Amino acid sequence: MKNTKTLLITSFLTLFIGVNISAQHLYPINQDNLYGYIDIEGKVIIEPKFEKGYDFAGQYGRVKQDGKYGYINHKGEVVIEPQFDEARDFSEDRACVKKEGQWFYIDRTGKTVITLKDADYAYSFREGIARYHHIEKENKLDDYGYIDHTGQIIIPPTYHLAYDFHDGLARVSNDGEKWGFIDKTGKLVIEDKLDACFDFWEGMANVRVGSEKDGKWGFIDNTGKIVIEATFDKAFYFDEELAIIRAGSVKDGKYGYINNTGKMVIKANNDGAHHFQDGLACVGRNVGKDMEWGYIGKDGKIVITHQFSIPAEFINGLAYVRIGSLKEGTQGYINHTGEFVWKLNK
């Protein structure tokens, strides 16, 4: 009985450790023009050996070797041989890839599950639907459509411009000038009368009312109703319940943050700003070559002092930054305290 219990405990620990290893996020590093990966502590998990490496998307990381794209697991083992001319990360257990001029989708075994005809570009699945760019050579049409997980066309390629689904809606344009939103049946649920807009995030989409030169930005809900008045010189999408706004022009404007009622919760006194990720936002002061970046919390207080010459949002606990010049500065990954966990050796 004792041996049986020991065996069960050992098996459980092995499974637990294995799950943790496969679940951990790995971060790409570039050393001597070769890419490898570190964990959140800065420990090298996969030695640099790839021509190019990208952030892991779940179980697999996309890499480039000998000019071709393929996929590796968390141990650095090649699970799908580099063979594709173009490739995107796995999303919803599908990855869109291109080989010999043909776009198609593969599963995690590398098996082709969807082949696209007459598509000159394909995009990742999001909310069960993938966008593709279609060319009808005879009529010289240049349009976007959507497919489901089986490859069935659920929305024919009829839009001059179209983007991925967010919160069940996708922004589309028939003429490249006015915009609206469709649902997953292709029904236009918000009329294509918007001057400019971006995707829905956290239940709202940022829209511009008026011309590019004189218009103002606000937010609509999924019925098209204005829920935050268009009073901002620029407004960006919501993330972690806060949205960046700009007061003034691109050249000399200041950036702050509003909440989902439109209330200014962090004053517009930053010379640059990025979205909140992991509870922190990268903000800048000064302009041009004198720009320095630091990080604030949701109360607007500085958490990591302004010192970085390149900005970066945190991804699963780490951000890639640089202090000083490209040639002589220090660059690598920092954690939430601003401490470098990995530095590039020069």
Nearest-5° Cα angle at 229, 225 to 231: 145
Domain for residue 319, yes or no?
Answer: yes
Q: How far apart are CA 110 and CA 80, in angstroms?
A: 6
Residues contacting residue 20 through CB under 8 Å, at least 6 positions apart:
none
Domain for residue 307, yes or no?
Answer: yes
Report percent pLDDT > 70 for the chain: 91
Domain for residue 341, yes or no?
Answer: yes
Residue 5 confidence (pLDDT) above 50: no
The pLDDT assigned to 138 comes to 58
The pLDDT assigned to 137 comes to 59
pLDDT tens profile 83-123: 999 999 999 999 999 999 999 999 999 999 999 988 889 99
Q: How far apart are CA 37 and CA 18, in angstroms?
A: 18
Residue 203 confidence (pLDDT) above 60: yes
Q: What is the H or E stretch that residue 16 is in?
A: helix 2-23
The residue with tokens 């799950």 is 19
Domain for residue 65, yes or no?
Answer: yes
Q: How far apart are CA 105 and CA 87, in angstroms?
A: 10
Quick one: pLDDT band at residue 134, thresholds 50, 70, 90? Answer: confident
Domain for residue 30, yes or no?
Answer: yes
Q: How many CB atoms lie within 10 A of CB 217?
A: 24
Domain for residue 184, yes or no?
Answer: no
CB burial readout 10-19, b (16+ within 10 A) else e: eeeeeeeeee
| Domain end position, chosen among 50, 79, 108 | 79
Stretch 146-173: mean pLDDT: 96
* Domain around 62: 25-79
Q: How far apart are CA 60 and CA 56, in angstroms?
A: 6
Q: Say how many domains are in the chain.
A: 2
Quick one: pLDDT band at residue 2, thresholds 50, 70, 90? Answer: very low
Domain for residue 127, yes or no?
Answer: no
The pLDDT assigned to 23 comes to 61
The pLDDT assigned to 123 comes to 97
| Domain end position, chosen among 58, 79, 100 | 79
Domain for residue 178, yes or no?
Answer: no
The pLDDT assigned to 11 comes to 42
Judging by beta carbons within 10 Å of its beta carbon (0-12, 13-18, 19+), is residue 137 exposed, middle or buried? exposed
Which has the higher per-residue pLDDT, 281 or 17? 281
